Structure formats: structure tokens, C-alpha cells
Chains A and B, each alone.
Chain A
Amino acid sequence: MAKPKVAFFDFACCEGCQLQIANIGELLLDVLGLIDVVEFREVMSEKGPDKIDVAIVEGSITDKHAIERIKKIRERASVLIAYGACACTGGVNGMKNNFKLEDIRKEVYGDRFNYFDTVETKAVHQVVKVDYFVNGCPVYIPEFVKVLKCALQGLPYEVPDQSVCTECKLNENVCMYERGVTCLGPVTKAGCNSWCINNGNICYGCRGMVSNPNEKGAQDVIKKYNVPMDLVMNKMNMYNKCRENDKK
């Protein structure tokens, strides 16, 4: 069987997630043994063929040109993997949606703002159909490998819909709330093996919110630990502002 043709694309992002792949070391060779990388701006220059088996898309959709481009990629690809927080949830680019688009353009491009269009930031699935999600900022490589295997087997991959706490507890971390720090683990999707907390950091919610959070319960917890609500909302919106597009 011919190796599946895989292409990497990036939209509004830092390309840090692609860099994660380039950085995985020895495992990379095993992964490359499975696939035929036809387009990968981060490590190669040639442009790929018309039809691809798997498109791995990083970054969020932030202007009209990007909308057209992602639609074309979707047409070319049998399978589309949204890759990284920007692609999966809109990520930090979603913060743009806190402001008027007009103001944003003026702020960024100054008096030449008229030359640059912009649209409300969207996650990839808010524009085209996405087959697989690899959440996280950056992606968690073991999960990426898992998703890739599912894609190659033609199997669905379900992003865990439990909170990060589930994994954090298995890692026997001291709860951040015990340390007096606000952590978004309780409402954020697991799957990262509580990567940040294992390393002494809090959870910033980069993997998106669990689909059925107990909002009242979460508010009680926030109250119990004397955390101002707007602080939590700000933290939440850092990665998850674009979730508002899903409700529309």
C-alpha cells in the first residue's frame, strides 16, 4: 500500500505546534516511515500535489483570504486534522474578538489599515468540516501520534471529555487550588496528561472546555477559593473566546 500523502498547513499561529513535530526526535523517524510528507513549510520548500490524504492544519482563520484557502485545502484533503489550539478552539487569536474589528486593524496596521482585511477569528471547524482534533498549545505529541494512528486506521478519535483534573490526580500533583493558585484544569478537556501542572504551571485551558461543565458548581468552587469571577473569565477567554462562535 502506498504511504498516505500528508501535508502540513498553517494559518494564524506561531507555528510552534509544527515545531513540536520537528522536535520529537527519534519518534519522528518512525512517524515519517508511515507517511509521505508532501508539504511542510516548516521543514521543506516544495509545494504538494492536488489531492492529499491527510491535511494537518495549524492556526486559526482570521481573514477572507484564509477562509478561501482553508476551503481549498478541505477540497484537496480526504482527512483534515485541526492541529493545535489555534486551529481547534481559535486559541489566543480569539482574543481579537474582544474588540471591534475596525479598531484592531487601526491598532495593528496604523493609517494603512485599509489595505488589510480582517474577520472575526474562527477555529477551523467553524469554517470547514474537521475530522480530527489535536488540541493544545502546543499539541501534546503522544496525543498527536495517537490521532495520527487513528487517522491512518480510519478510526474515529474522541478527545477526552473529562477534566484535566482526572489526569492530574493520577499524576499525584498537589492541586493548584491548594497552593492558592487559580487553575483551569477543572473545566478543561483532558488528554495532555496534565502536562503543565506536572511541570509546576497552572492549566490555561488551552485544550478547550469540557462539553458539559457544571457551571453552577464551578462558580461555587471559584467563590470558595475567593477567586474574582472576571479573573477566571479572562483566563478562560485567553484560549477559548472563539467558543462563542459555536453557540451562534
Chain B
Amino acid sequence: MKAVKIKDSEYEIKKGKILKAKMLTTMEKYFEIALPGGESLDHEPGQFVEVSILGIGEAPISISSSPTKRGSFELVVRNAGKLSGALHKLEAGDEVGIRGPFGKGFPVRILEGNDLLFVAAGLGVVPLRSLINFVIDNRRDFGKVNILLGCRTPQNMLFNDELEQWGKRLDVNFNCTVDKADPDWKGNVGLITTLIPGINLEPERTFAVVVGPPIMYKFVIVELLKKQIPERQILVSLERHMKCGLGKCGHCQINNMYCCQDGPVFTYDKIKGIPEAL
């Protein structure tokens, strides 16, 4: 069979140049990437890209930077598979392939004018950061902002400098907790769910945005519902293996939905009846 070049293939990649690369923890590496000619990625907070190293493969990775950051975008990758392992070997100056952005991100237009409660556990802070920084950069468009962060140990904490900045701001309430403290830790100890009851909020005008590992959603959502936050005002971002990003390959399917096209961001009222979602 003959192979013929085609234009406009959805599989075409753009060259992404790594501007900066650094380890955030022992497991997670940060990359700042620019497209050729400074072209904008033009993404919404919460969307993802497919990152390639040709010859090794491609994997879906959430965008961690806000679209308000121009000229480049940021990813944080945990060393957990073949592609991510190879990504960890790359440094500034190296190239990766980029497709996307893909998926439905956080509905920023709908969030405008409302109070926001961000809840992130573990790596959940990576995609959520795209929205948090977007909100901070457009601070006057939003109401009260609460940020709750949880992770296993202080060593797992990502973006320490930035968290400190969020903590210092008067227009943001920031609180974090670790499951297991070390002697230097002076903050909260306990699961992220323990931080929710103490938050003061007006449920009818609050959107809760929750991102974390699968197990965390059930417990956090129970707490949010106790706070009377309406189901359609609870947003989650689900993790699946979005292989093609085009709603075809089937890997990310959640019952009748494709996570890569219909998600990864969903409102809780949309998925609460979907058995495979949470």
C-alpha cells in the first residue's frame, strides 16, 4: 500500500521548544515550552495537550499555566510511564512534539462574578493552577477565592514559591494540609476533606473546582454537598488515558462520553449518574 503525505492531519505535531526544565520534587518535572515563532497555544484553563517524543510515543498532559501567560506554556510531568520517563531526561533547548490543546476546560465565562473554592489534592494542583492563575490575573472578575491544597508530605508539595505568593495575597484565602508531616512542617496535618468544613461560603454563589486522584473526589464532593453547594456548581477534572485526543481511540471513554472531548472538566450533576465516572 502506498503512503502519501497529507495536510491537515489531526495527528500532525507542532515543535515545542523547551525553554526551562527543572525538577519540582523527586518525581515531578516542570517544563516551560514555546511553539515556533512564539505562536500562542490558545488554550482554556483545564485543557490538555498531547506531548510527543517521536520514536518513543505520545501522552496526554494537562496544561499547568494560565492562558494569561503569553508566549509559552507550562507542563508538570510525573515520571510514571514510558513517555514521561523519557520526558524527564529532556532539558532546556530540547524539543518535544505538541498536539492540541484538547478537551473542554474550566468554563471561565460561567465562573465570572462567582465565588470560587479550589480544592486540589496531589497532582491535581497541576491542572488547577492554570485556572487559579487565570483567576488571580483577572482577579476583579471573580468573587471570593478560597484555595485548599492537600498532598501526602511536605516534600510532595509543588510550586512552593507560588503557593507562598498565593498565601500572602489578601484577595485569596489559601490553606494547605499534608497527610504526613515532617518536623519542619508547621501547617495542617490531615486529609483535604478536613479543611472544607471550616470554610465560610455562600453556597448559591460558589463554584467549587475539585481536581485530584480518583479516590479523593467521592470524599470531597460529600463535604461540598454538605456545604449546600449545588451539584451543577461543583466542577471536577477527570484523569483518563486520552490516547488520540480526538474522541476516537476509545481509551478514555467513560460510559457514553469521551473524556478527551466531553471532558476532562465535568460538572458534578452531569456525571453523578455516570457509573464509570467517579
Contact = CB atoms under 8 A, between A and B. Distances in A.
A and B touch in the complex (CB under 8 A): yes
Interface of A: 153-156
Contacts, number: 9
Contacts of A155: 56, 82, 85-86
Nearest 8 A-B pairs (CB), nearest first?
Answer: A156-B82, A155-B82, A155-B56, A155-B86, A153-B56, A153-B55, A156-B85, A155-B85
A129 B127 CA distance: 38
A156 B86 CA distance: 10
Interface in B48-78: 55-56
Contacts of B56: 153, 155
A148 to B, nearest CB: 14
A182 B55 CA distance: 39
Interface of B: 55-56, 82, 85-86, 89
Contacts of A154: 89
Contacts of B86: 155
- Interface-central residue, A153, A154, A155, A156, by most chain B CB under 10 Å: A155
A168 B23 CA distance: 44
Contacts of B82: 155-156
B34 to A, nearest CB: 26
A151 to B, nearest CB: 13
A95 to B, nearest CB: 36
B87 to A, nearest CB: 12
A156 B57 CA distance: 12
Nearest to A157: B82
Nearest to A150: B82
B51 to A, nearest CB: 16
Nearest to B57: A155
A212 B167 CA distance: 48
A155 B56 CA distance: 8
A155 B55 CA distance: 11
B85 to A, nearest CB: 7
B218 to A, nearest CB: 26
9 contacts: A153-B55, A153-B56, A154-B89, A155-B56, A155-B82, A155-B85, A155-B86, A156-B82, A156-B85
Contacts of B55: 153
